[in-house]
Amino acid sequence: MTVSESDRVKADQIKGEANKLFSEKRFPEAIEKYTAAIELNPTVAVYYTNRAFCHLKLESYGYAITDAEEALKIDPTLTKANYRRASANMALGKFKEALKDLRVVSKRAPGDKDAKAKLDECSKIVKRIEFEKAIEHDDRTPSIAETLDPSSITVESSYDGPRIDLEQDGELQITQDFVTQMIERFKNQKKIHKKYAFMIIFAVYKMMMEAPSLIDVSVPEKGILTVCGDVHGQFYDFINIFETNGYPSDTHAYLFNGDFVDRGSFSVEVILTLFAYKWLYPDRLYLARGNHETDNMNKVYGFEGEVKAKFSDMMFKLFSEAFNALPLAHVIGHKILVVHGGLFSKDDVTLDDIRKINRLGQRQPGTEGLMCELLWSDPQPEPGRGASKRGVGIQFGPDVTKNFLERNNLDMLIRSHEVKENGYVIEHDGKCVTVFSAPNYCDTVGNKGAYINITPDIKLDYVTFEHVPHPQVRPMQYASQFSGLLGM
Active-site positions read 292
CB 486 within 8 A of CB 90: yes
Considering all CA atoms of the chain, what is the largest pairwise distance in Å, rounded to the nearest integer?
Answer: 85
155: amino acid identity, one letter: V
Backbone angles phi, psi at 254, to 5 degrees: -130, 145
Residue 287, Ramachandran bin (φ over 0: left; ψ between -120 and 50: alpha; else beta) = beta
Beta-strand relationship, 224-228 and 252-256: parallel
For residue 244, how many C-alpha atoms fall within 13 Å in the half-sphere facing its CB? 16
The rounded distance, in Å, linking the Cα atoms of 209 and 411 is: 29
The rounded distance, in Å, linking the Cα atoms of 92 and 131 is: 20
Q: What is the DSSP letter of 192?
A: P
How many degrees, rounded to 5, is the angle at CA 379 between CA 330 and CA 59? Answer: 100
End-to-end CA distance of the chain: 36
Quote the distance between the C-alpha of residue 112 and its chain's center.
31
CB 429 within 8 A of CB 402: yes
Backbone angles phi, psi at 314, to 5 degrees: -60, -40
Residue among 392, 472, 384, 378 nearest 425 (CA): 378
**DSSP letters for 362-379:** H-S--SSSHHHHHHH-EE
Backbone angles phi, psi at 420, to 5 degrees: -130, 140
The rounded distance, in Å, linking the Cα atoms of 265 and 442 is: 9
